Amino acid sequence: MNQLTDPNPGLYFAPTGIAHLTGTNTDLVRAAARGRARLRVTTAAQLNGHPHLGTVTTIMAVFALTARMADELGLPATIVFDSLENAPAEHVTIDGRHYTRTVGDLIDNGALDGVERASGFRRLLAWASARSAIAWQERPYATYQELAPVRACLHTIASRQGEFAPVLAPTDGRIRIRPRCPQCRLMDKDAHDLTITATDGAVLLDSACPHHGPYRETIHLTSTSGWCDANTPVRSVQKVALLAAERDLYNACSVSIDGPDWGGAWFAHVIAPALALLGVPVDQWPVSVFTPMVLDRTGGKLSKSLYVKYGREYADLPPAFLDLDLLLDTYGEDALEALWQEATRWAADTRRLHRSYTVDYLAALIPGAPIGEAA
């Protein structure tokens, strides 16, 4: 790999936690990759708008880390991008209950343009793929939820709800495996009327629409018929079950690289207990790697949803930092190149990967960006 130039040579990067244990970031996957033919890396994002600066740097880091690991291990690599068109897009309150329709629903009925909705992500993924020489493929949620290991995991959860509920729904015990009304596609987000039943070859989801009454969705284990929306904890557990299965299916080192939201407490309280309940042996657990968190000026995670809701009361940031298209229109591809160089430094140095960065720090890397000094 090429020697990297440090744009901030006066900054210090403390080794924290796992950085004390690893010589390079490739050490995180080295044992799992032993004897495997390839690296298969997955990451995901909800299609709920154009990527903002935090999402851009996360995806850059996924490609930079994959390229570094593939090079040091001498293995071919592929990145699978799970595009989550099951993200909520329309919110409706009826009799005090919260119902939603998904991005996919609104694309299907013409209210949203599917190409426009995914264009920012695809543009970014294509750019990072060309820059890293790592191939990628897109996997929509509709395809993901049809996969046999995903449905097998769903059936296990449905069969053992008493065991999984404290992990997946600790507040109210309602596991949210949500069907949608076959007539209007409204979905009860909080699963008030949901009944989940496991049969020998299917999962039965019984719910009720406020307009059209009771209905049933059948998720078959041996076919792709049926659809359901697994909420974030359920989907996270299905994902690690899928990665564990793909380990043997592709003779691959299965790696999940995601933003830091899904590390720490989430991994300790959701993923690890669920893997134990699923009976996946520890030596077959997929590897999870987490990218740095991008912070706003208060020290919290940079949030596009808060910016959209509160505007400059939340963060006095240039709009370009909240929308990839605006970023490119304003600063050109030099902005992507600057962020790519930073991501490659994260991939090359354990001390740089396992920490957070302020939006000001990243903005200072972008030529011409009108924001404060590095911090």
Does 17 map to a domain? yes
pLDDT of residue 213: 97
Residue 243 domain flag: no
> What tokens does 372 get?
């404060």
- Per the listing, tokens 């991939």 go with 347
Q: Is residue 264 part of a domain?
A: no
Tens digit of pLDDT at every position of the chain (375 positions): 555 667 666 677 777 788 888 999 999 999 999 999 999 999 999 987 789 899 999 999 999 999 999 999 999 999 999 999 999 999 999 999 999 999 999 999 999 999 999 999 999 999 999 999 999 999 999 999 999 999 999 999 999 999 999 999 999 999 999 999 999 999 999 999 999 999 999 999 999 999 999 999 999 999 999 999 999 999 999 999 999 999 999 999 999 999 988 888 999 999 999 999 999 999 889 999 999 999 988 888 888 777 767 877 777 778 888 889 999 999 999 999 999 999 999 999 999 999 999 988 999 999 887 654 433
Count of CA atoms in the C-beta half-sphere (13 A) of 354 = 19
Which residues share a beta bridge with 83?
A: 45, 140
In sequence order, the 6+-apart residues with CB closer than 8 A to the CB of 112 are 89, 103, 106
Residue from 47, 44, 57 nearest 124 by CA = 57
DSSP string for residues in 61-118: HHHHHHHHHHHHHT--EEEEEEEETTSEEEEEEETTEEEEEEHHHHHHTTSS-HHHHH
- What is residue 89's predicted lDDT score, i.e. its pLDDT? 93
Residue 256: inside a domain: no
Q: What is the pLDDT of residue 318?
A: 81
Structure tokens at 104: 């996919």
Query: What is the count of structural domains for the chain?
Result: 1
Given a contact cutoff of 8 angstroms between Cβ atoms, the answer to whether 194 and 161 are in contact is no
Residue 162 lies in a domain: no
Please report the pLDDT score of residue 144 as a whole number.
97
Q: Is residue 207 part of a domain?
A: no
Q: What is the CA radius of gyration of the chain?
A: 21
Domain membership of residue 59 as a residue range: 1-98+112-144+292-375
CA atoms within 13 A on the CB side of 54: 23
H helix or E strand, kind and range, residue 196: strand 195-198
Whether 193 and 205 have beta carbons less than 8 Å apart is answered as no
Evaluate whether residue 257 is within a structural domain.
no
Other beta carbons within 10 Å of 323? 19
Q: Is residue 321 part of a domain?
A: yes
